[in-house]
Amino acid sequence: MLRAVQLTKTFGGLTVLQDVSLDFRPGEVHALMGENGAGKSTLMKMLAGLHRPDGGEIQWRGRTVRFANPHDALAQGIAMVHQELMPIPDLDVAENLLLGLEPVDAFGWVDRAELHRQARHWLAALDTDLDTRQPMRRLSVAQIQVVEIAKALARQADVILMDEPTAALSDHEVAALFRAIDGLRRRGVAVVYTTHKMDEVFRLADRLSVLRDGRLVHTAPAAELTPSALINHMVGRELAKVFPPVVTTPGEVVLEVRGLTREPAYRDISFTLRRGEVLGLAGLMGAGRTEIAEALYGLRPATAGEIRLRDRPVRLLSPQDALAAGLGMVTEDRKGLGIIPAMSVQHNLTLSALARFSSPTGIDASAESRATAEQIEAYAIKTRDPGQPIGELSGGNQQKVLLARALLAGPDVVILDEPTRGIDIGAKAEIYALIGRLSAAGKAVLLISSELPEILALTHRLLVLRQGELSAELDPRHTTQEEILRHAMPR
């Protein structure tokens, strides 16, 4: 019914999807699998008319179609339920569901009874029973999702695309969503969805397709695949080969933290960090990892405790203080606290080290350009030219610019908060190699990561946080992911 033929898409010179051909059939639940940056979202967005393909075509009921925008696609019967849902919070469920399709009476007034009757009808089609009169803001994420799906149904969608619908859902919410998806399958709707969750796809999907680095590597009925075969297709190489060996022997203590506290995020945090050492900080979301990093970098100072750099107490009340003291940080919030999207790659890269190029007569433009060119080369940053706005780069390349920014300022201590989140495997490998080089160059690195294989392979020592307190110090060579999780789980 819906067919992608050799779809290709590039962003700012980086190919994110290449020659992907897939069929989507009525009444079939089709799961797109792959790591972050594999191209799943891009593929969906092209099918939904959000992006235009740079190569290949989309065929719909046997004809080649070009969607100018999502409305075009919707008019043809292809709807997308987004990762970030967009309800109007103060309108009620029925008003949101039938927005733009409100039934009217003879005078052109909205027929409210009919509106709610229709809304209940569409929700019932998804095996859901919701009070259509309550405002959208009172709904849980899962309920909003169901309303969004019903919205697609009410618009006669034959294909519904869902980008990570279960990412933010609890288990019983997932069950409700799955009932709704079963409802769609029975109605003959083609469902396409992306997820990271292995167990889910085998319960739900009829067909699995795996994307890796922008290419389709495998597609098969779910019944013909095993979980381990699926993982092999997704990763495509042994992870061990991606990580550089940990070689450096740590030197003298550079950073010492004593009794760092900021209620309720974390309390009584004490540790030391040595020259050339990579110290891991593991813990669940909300355990206080990022908050501790932010305190060390002056973004949100602690309320109690002491930070000593090279055996001297320091007061770090702003990132400016931290940079001056020799601390650098790469944030986990690349969009919010990292890039300045409209500014060029060069201006983003040199922002923290601008003083070095400045004199009373202004910025030495040629020195700045030279330094930028060196960094672009050293980090293999893929950009058209240094004047290109950083917002046009891929996530991995933005991240490399931010790393270069932090390191150009010449810090002794580098805090990396989830440095590989949301970037492709190639860029990940480069960042792993970089961490090894930093350590070899005598920098002290504090590495925060939710990816346990990553943190186990890259660090000398590992601290585990549980609900704002340090619960364990582990030797990554003699521990397991299970042991880390045991120390990280709330009691």
What gap in Å lies between CA 267 and CA 288, rounded to an integer?
A: 9
The count of chain residues that interact with other proteins, using the rule CB under 8 A, is 33
Nearest distance from residue 380's CB to other proteins, in Å?
Answer: 22
Nearest distance from residue 382's CB to other proteins, in Å?
Answer: 19
Nearest distance from residue 293's CB to other proteins, in Å?
Answer: 11
Q: Is 209 among the residues that bind other proteins (CB under 8 A)?
A: no
Nearest distance from residue 423's CB to other proteins, in Å?
Answer: 18
Q: Which residue, 245 or 336, has its beta carbon nearer to other proteins?
A: 336
- Which residues within the stretch 365-404 sit at the binding site for other proteins (CB under 8 A)? 365-366, 369, 387, 389
Nearest distance from residue 210's CB to other proteins, in Å?
Answer: 35
Q: Which two tokens mark 362?
A: 């202004």
Q: Which two tokens mark 69?
A: 């925008």
Among 124, 340, 373, 441, binds other proteins (CB under 8 A): 340
Q: CA angle at residue 163 from 61 to 223, to 5 degrees?
A: 70
Q: Which stretch binds other proteins (CB under 8 A): 90-98, 358-366, 452-460, 464-472?
A: 358-366
Q: Which residue, 288 or 328, has its beta carbon nearer to other proteins?
A: 328
Q: Which residues contact 384 (CB under 8 A, 6 or more apart)?
A: 12, 13
- Collapsing DSSP to helix, strand or coil, 257 comes out as strand
Nearest distance from residue 276's CB to other proteins, in Å?
Answer: 25
Among 64, 156, 358, 481, binds other proteins (CB under 8 A): 358
> Element (H or E) spanning 139, and its range?
none
Q: Which stretch binds other proteins (CB under 8 A): 189-197, 356-364, 372-380, 442-450?
A: 356-364
In 297-424, where does DSSP find H-type helix? 319-325, 345-349, 354-357, 365-378, 395-408
Among 142, 409, 413, 448, binds other proteins (CB under 8 A): 409
Are 479 and 490 in contact by the 8 Å Cβ rule? The answer is no
What gap in Å lies between CA 148 and CA 170, rounded to an integer?
A: 18
Q: Which two tokens mark 334?
A: 């690349």
Q: Which two tokens mark 101?
A: 């399709």
> Element (H or E) spanning 4, and its range?
strand 2-11
Nearest distance from residue 390's CB to other proteins, in Å?
Answer: 10
DSSP 91-132: SBHHHHHTTT---B-TTS-B-HHHHHHHHHHHHHHTT----T
Among 58, 126, 339, 435, binds other proteins (CB under 8 A): 339
Q: Which stretch binds other proteins (CB under 8 A): 53-61, 275-283, 345-353, 432-440?
A: 345-353
User: Among 135, 136, 100, which Cα is nearest to 115's?
Assistant: 100
Q: Which residue, 269 or 299, has its beta carbon nearer to other proteins?
A: 299
Among 344, 392, 412, 442, binds other proteins (CB under 8 A): 344
Among 134, 303, 320, 481, binds other proteins (CB under 8 A): 320
Q: Which residue, 100 or 360, has its beta carbon nearer to other proteins?
A: 360
Q: Is 405 among the residues that bind other proteins (CB under 8 A)?
A: yes
What gap in Å lies between CA 42 and CA 48, rounded to an integer?
A: 10
- Collapsing DSSP to helix, strand or coil, 320 comes out as helix
Nearest distance from residue 294's CB to other proteins, in Å?
Answer: 9
- Which residues within the stretch 289-308 sit at the binding site for other proteins (CB under 8 A)? 297, 299
Residue 6 has phi, psi (to 5 degrees) of 50, 45
Q: Which stretch binds other proteins (CB under 8 A): 20-28, 146-154, 262-270, 323-331?
A: 323-331
What gap in Å lies between CA 112 and CA 89, rounded to an integer?
A: 18
Tracing tokens 């061990």 back to the chain, one arrives at 240
What gap in Å lies between CA 115 and CA 458, rounded to an integer?
A: 58
Q: Is 408 among the residues that bind other proteins (CB under 8 A)?
A: no
Q: Calculate the CA 93 to chain-centre distance.
A: 29
Please give the residue ranges that form the binding site for other proteins (CB under 8 A).
Answer: 297, 299, 318-320, 322-323, 329, 331, 336-344, 347, 351-352, 354-355, 358, 362-363, 365-366, 369, 387, 389, 405, 409
